[in-house]
Chains A and B, each alone.
Chain A
């Protein structure tokens, strides 16, 4: 899916209830209360932070183009209307769990592949294409751990990659392989790949993120110990903000929300924001202390009926529930998978 298509899809997902900038903050992975809550409210976990380096100018350009093409209207106040329905769902992303770390995984993988390819070619005197010292150190440790001196793990890594790639589409596997280098094969730059696939460089990078997320999901599931060893600390399971992390600690120690607010000298509403963040991030987080099962079912049904995730109309139908309770259920219920 091209960048502009994705933007339309996201604008559509925000149901015209936010300004046109909302997808920008989402794709960048902005760690603000609003963006993080929206991730839960509109169920946009997949796209959080998949383009952390996206330039605002590039985003604005794409919006302008969509307007010129008559697919979007942006109003003075920043709100907008989408004129074209995007039915095609975007490819697989899991931005919430990877947050840009997928590129660290790729850096490790590419260096491991380069090294083992050189080893098979019988020439370990080469210049690593990955310059990051932390990545180099990680791969050195990895190779030692895997006993690369036996000379056989290149073959094993090849088999593991074969297994993972056969789970991907032909083109996805090709995109992955075209970025890798070895003794007699050199990878291609974004510019070269964009030309080859006849797309913009941003589109190429965007598909590559999807390829990496898909690859990471398969690695987690398949029996591929070498690849698994390259994914350490790539997936994040903690709450997003540092402040929410502190709240989580106190909450897990058994303090009530009021006590936490007092201890941390914060407003109770801020603590509630943190609890919502925790519900979104932690698969095992239990809603039981805050809402009962009947409430959860009611809210989910109402969301279906009204076709909205706006809090106000929901609250009008369920006046006995607090906004906090509604947000919690939306946060938790909005997740397709944990």
Chain B
């Protein structure tokens, strides 16, 4: 019967692993935690139930770009009763949306919006069948320090008589799972944890003494590589610089970061999806909404600060199930850079004291003694706990960040199987070791790639030809 509905609403004939069990639990009205690797149809776990349940579904999404992408995907499938209630709306638009909210089936919103009294008031009276918390790992991974609003989702809905909550994530360690269940106050949830392992992605690693050697290796690799790839790096400046170097080597490449205007970002993404570009040099802003199945390579210029980020980023390779390669690059001293970037937003003890001493605490930002992010963290915690407790908590947070970085450093330095180490970090075990496993298990860089190069219309053709290409008729 479920399969029938699947066929009717989405045109698929079979479920992917895990989907059916999750959907059945959701339809029974239970709380559910589902960890499904990226690209395996997480969204269907609420899309199908929404079509079958009597009332609307509320989807809380931590990132605006993610929300927008999901709204677009639903609209693309012909679903009209979709609305995104987010900070992009101006006051009049927001009032209009709130007044007409009951006509929608899929209501997307952000944790920040949920804090606003008028939004809360409407949502608390609206009949809902399901609440979805998407990317639920953010609750632990960033929500803890950078997105405090995410922790308060549970407060919005009364514990008695609220609809079931479905917490979705692609990557979650045991600790993150515990955080999700705790902060969302889930009630004996049904849990489905799919393995985080992606056996078709080979885990490679290269170590160098100097930054220069590392980069030369990366550029040569990219120059020779077949198929599409992403080079992840840390800063916008590096993105632009590396792309320039690669262009000089005649690689079909562009850079992508959040400092570009929205339309430019869309154009680059579109060129990449269409096969007009082979490589993207990007900050971690790139990836969401990139529906491209045949990415063959993901390189990391510097290792990510957490194993979860690493898994999410390499997980963009090989969604088509064909072999793909992930290369983690390392040069001596990288760990200092990573530690600095990862901990700079955590306030220190001096800032805690400063905050408590000010009449208007925001003065510490105005006087340059703290960043906006640091202020938000302080502001949230100091309303709930005293200064001593907050100092203790922030200390733990720093410790936790360092632990995460150490886990990545282990991956950088180990002589053992990388796959086992990565999968173990999520409290799981590798079920079946692929032949081409990782650098320490003797995996090779050989890849048979069916090329999907598409030569775009040359830039220097005259405007008449370009216009004709847009409108052939």
Contact = CB atoms under 8 A, between A and B. Distances in A.
Interface of A: 107, 110, 113, 116-117, 120-121, 125-131, 133, 154-155, 157-158, 161-162, 165, 170, 173-174, 176-178, 180-192, 195-196
* Main SS at interface, chain B: helix
A177 B76 contact: no
Contacts of A131: 68, 262, 266
Contacts of A173: 463
A133 B67 CA distance: 14
Contacts of B467: 158, 161-162, 165, 177
Contacts of A162: 464, 467
A192 B460 CA distance: 12
Interface in B227-272: 240, 247, 254-255, 260-264, 266-268, 270-271
B471 A117 contact: yes
Interface residues of B, number: 37
A177 B463 contact: yes
Interface string B453-473: 000110110111011011111
B357 to A, nearest CB: 34
Contacts of B270: 129, 181, 186
B267 A174 contact: no
Contact of B254 (A117, A127, A189, A196): A189
Given A117-B471, A154-B471, A186-B274, A107 B89 contact: no
A88 B150 CA distance: 57
Interface of B: 68, 72, 76-77, 88-89, 93, 240, 247, 254-255, 260-264, 266-268, 270-271, 274, 276, 456-457, 459-460, 462-464, 466-467, 469-473
A187 B267 contact: yes
A189 B260 contact: yes
B470 A165 contact: no
Nearest to A137: B93
A25 B281 CA distance: 35
A120 B471 contact: yes
Contacts of A177: 463, 466-467, 470
Contacts of B263: 107, 110, 129-130
A161 B271 CA distance: 24
B246 to A, nearest CB: 12
Contacts of A195: 247
Given A181-B270, A190-B261, A191-B254, 20 more contacts: A117-B471, A127-B76, A129-B263, A129-B266, A131-B266, A162-B467, A165-B464, A170-B463, A177-B467, A180-B470, A185-B470, A186-B274, A186-B276, A186-B456, A188-B267, A191-B240, A191-B260, A195-B247, A196-B459, A196-B460
A195 B246 CA distance: 13
A185 B463 contact: no
